[in-house]
């Protein structure tokens, strides 16, 4: 997969190295763009249609693959809010993928309708906020 957002039938594909910033957000960075995965998940969670298909891959290895599930927040074993799809802890997989080059595919029927979906693209010293 390339390092550009691909949108086909509401499927968004993000590629890059996953980091965890000081605000507690998961950031996926490539030479072309920086995507705040946490912002996307928050917006899907708060949207009227929080049905989601999500796949996380490292090369050919599937790290997480849940389809046709609701994105829910539950308390994890440490008492922290954690995203779950079909009962499986998405947050745990993201946390253990920090530092890895991964691909994240997200399908949500209303994803392209969400106003202000923040995608940050770094170009030199300039940072541009916008929608994709």
Per-residue pLDDT tens digits for 95-123 = 999 999 999 999 886 666 654 554 443 33
Q: Give the angle 125-128-131 at the CA atoms, nearest 5°.
A: 160
Q: Give the angle 116-120-121 at the CA atoms, nearest 5°.
A: 135
Nearest residue to 51 (alpha-carbon basis) of 7, 13, 10, 103 = 10
| pLDDT per residue as tens digits for the range 28-41 | 999 988 999 998 88
For tokens 């979906």, the residue is: 117
Task: Return the SS3 of 25.
Answer: coil
**Where is pLDDT greater, at 72 or 119?**
72
Which of the 8 DSSP states describes residue 111? G
Four-residue CA torsion sign, 122, 125, 127, 132: negative
State the Rg of the chain over Cα. Answer: 14
Nearest residue to 116 (alpha-carbon basis) of 130, 102, 105 = 130
For residue 57, name the pLDDT band (cuts at 50, 70, 90). Answer: very high
pLDDT at 63 over 80: yes
């Amino acid at each position: 997969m390339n390092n550009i957002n691909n949108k086909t039938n509401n499927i968004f594909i993000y590629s890059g190295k996953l980091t965890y910033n000081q605000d507690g957000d998961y950031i996926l960075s490539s030479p072309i763009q920086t995507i705040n995965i946490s912002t996307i998940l928050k917006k899907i969670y708060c949207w009227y249609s929080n049905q989601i298909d999500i796949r996380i891959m490292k090369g050919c290895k599937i790290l997480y693959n849940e389809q046709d599930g609701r994105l829910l927040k539950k308390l994890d074993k440490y008492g922290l809010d954690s995203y779950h799809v079909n009962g499986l802890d998405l947050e745990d997989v993201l946390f253990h993928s920090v530092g890895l080059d991964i691909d994240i595919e997200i399908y949500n029927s209303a994803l392209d309708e969400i106003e202000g979906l923040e995608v940050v693209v770094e170009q030199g010293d300039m940072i541009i906020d916008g929608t994709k």
